[in-house]
Structure 1
Amino acid sequence: MNKLRNRVQLIGHLGMNPEVKTTDSGHKLAKFSLATNESFTNSNGEKVDETEWHNVIAWNKTAELIESYLEKGREVALEGKLSTRSWEDEKGVKRFVTEIVCNEILFLGKKA
């Protein structure tokens, strides 16, 4: 049995309209940021709201759905895997980014 060991599930709101493009090889790619919120009471009894921002990418059919139906503010549930990649910028500095590669998405709530 194949066990998925790198799995992420998030519910949040899009922080931007998705950026969608088609690669030279004809694959569709969607990129967007997702905000997840958490509330808790700190040691002083004060309510604290924290927002985490996540970079999300999706390919092909999932990217097409995202392009057709999602916009900034829309609430979604998604599942995917964490992926970290690196590159060198124009000054030769090595850069890193961690993204969620989305393979399933569920549209929640109403359109923003």
Structure 2
Amino acid sequence: METRPDVAVLDLGMPGQDGLTAATGLRVALPSCRSLLVTALAVIAWETPDNPLTEREVQILRRAGDRRLGERDRAGALPVGRHGPQPLTSATTKLHARNRVDAIRIATETGWL
């Protein structure tokens, strides 16, 4: 390779060779290069980062996202301190989520819930 990129952005639907095959080849040829696979619908990181959430935050997100519970039951299960539900706010911030629904979606899609 003429250059040594830090990151390669690859489309899963590339003509000739799909992005996953290309990323695997890059991993062998250039281990320090990270691959970012994209599609028209989603962006998927080649390596999932470590879970930044505490066990309590995971527990709170699971409870908040439990569709078997009614809204009142979910709300009653969330710890509320003087300044509001701290673990839920903390988890939302750590995940760079817009709101609790977005935080639940992000944590679920990355396999942390």
Name the TM-score class by shorter chain: under 0.3
TM-score (norm 1): 0.22
TM-score (norm 2): 0.21
* Structure having the larger proportion of residues in strand: 1
* Structure having the larger proportion of residues in helix: 2
Larger Rg: 2
